[in-house]
């Protein structure tokens, strides 16, 4: 049985990753142990940061466990791509981040509020990244917060085809269509094929 450690301290991300990877044959999915230092996030892209975190935590955890590192965020066209890779550092907490975002867009008309969620995942072991993938979902920024599910920018990220924000979707529905759900579907398929092909523990 291979160990896969989820390299994030974000409880919402852990819940979503564990949910999508549940029942993955041959793998035991675990949260990051407590008390570890935070990895640097100095990359210019989501993939850069996921790679940084994967390399950092896989060096700390040693040669045995595999590490799944995530970097994700919101890209808003009217803000020239902000908050982007600084999504988690845009303001001190989820409420403040959403309030700041809506404030910056208060004079932007609905047709010009296009945005996308992006999630990059890196698979690492023993200090080196062996595979990466990325998923995204298109939407717009709502005029106000709606919904109680999810976390982060979910209450202001509107899915026009559904007429609902990400936070108005139950977790299982969100995981089917979200940026992280899409990236994790590819991640899960890779882990399954890797295990079949390599036979390595």
pLDDT digits (tens, 9 = 90+) for 142-159: 999 999 999 999 999 999
| 131 SS3 class | strand
Measured CA to CA, the distance from residue 9 to residue 32 in angstroms comes to: 7
**Is 50 exceeded by the pLDDT of residue 17?**
yes
Measured CA to CA, the distance from residue 138 to residue 131 in angstroms comes to: 24
pLDDT digits (tens, 9 = 90+) for 105-121: 999 999 999 999 999 99
Structural domains in the chain? 2-198 (3.90.950.10)
pLDDT digits (tens, 9 = 90+) for 152-199: 999 999 999 999 999 999 999 999 999 999 999 999 999 987 655 444
Among the listed residues 48, 70, 71, 80, the single catalytic one is: 71
Copy the structure tokens of residue 179. Answer: 């940026």
Q: Is 71 an annotated catalytic residue?
A: yes
**Is 50 exceeded by the pLDDT of residue 46?**
yes
Mean pLDDT of the chain: 94
What are the backbone dihedrals phi and psi of residue 124, each rounded to the nearest 5 degrees, phi first? -130, 160
Q: Are 90 and 83 in contact (CB under 8 A)?
A: yes
* pTM for this model (two decimals): 0.93
């Amino acid at each position: 049985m291979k160990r896969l450690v989820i390299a994030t301290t974000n409880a919402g991300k852990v819940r979503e990753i564990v949910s999508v990877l549940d029942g993955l044959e041959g793998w035991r999915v675990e949260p990051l142990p407590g008390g570890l230092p935070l990895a640097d996030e100095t990359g210019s892209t989501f993939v850069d940061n996921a790679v940084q975190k994967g390399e950092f935590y896989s060096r700390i955890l040693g040669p045995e466990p595999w590490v799944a590192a995530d970097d994700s965020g919101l890209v808003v066209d009217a803000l020239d791509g902000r908050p982007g890779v600084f999504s988690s550092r845009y303001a001190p907490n989820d409420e403040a981040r959403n309030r700041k975002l809506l404030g910056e867009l208060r004079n932007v008309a609905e047709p010009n509020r296009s945005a996308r969620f992006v999630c990059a995942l890196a698979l690492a072991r023993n200090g080196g990244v062996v595979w990466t993938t990325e998923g995204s979902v298109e939407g717009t920024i709502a005029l106000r917060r709606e919904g109680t599910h999810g976390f982060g920018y979910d209450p202001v990220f509107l899915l026009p085809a559904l007429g609902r924000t990400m936070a108005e979707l139950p977790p299982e529905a969100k995981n089917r269509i979200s940026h992280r759900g899409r990236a994790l579907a590819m991640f899960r398929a890779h882990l399954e094929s890797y295990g079949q092909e390599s036979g390595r523990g």
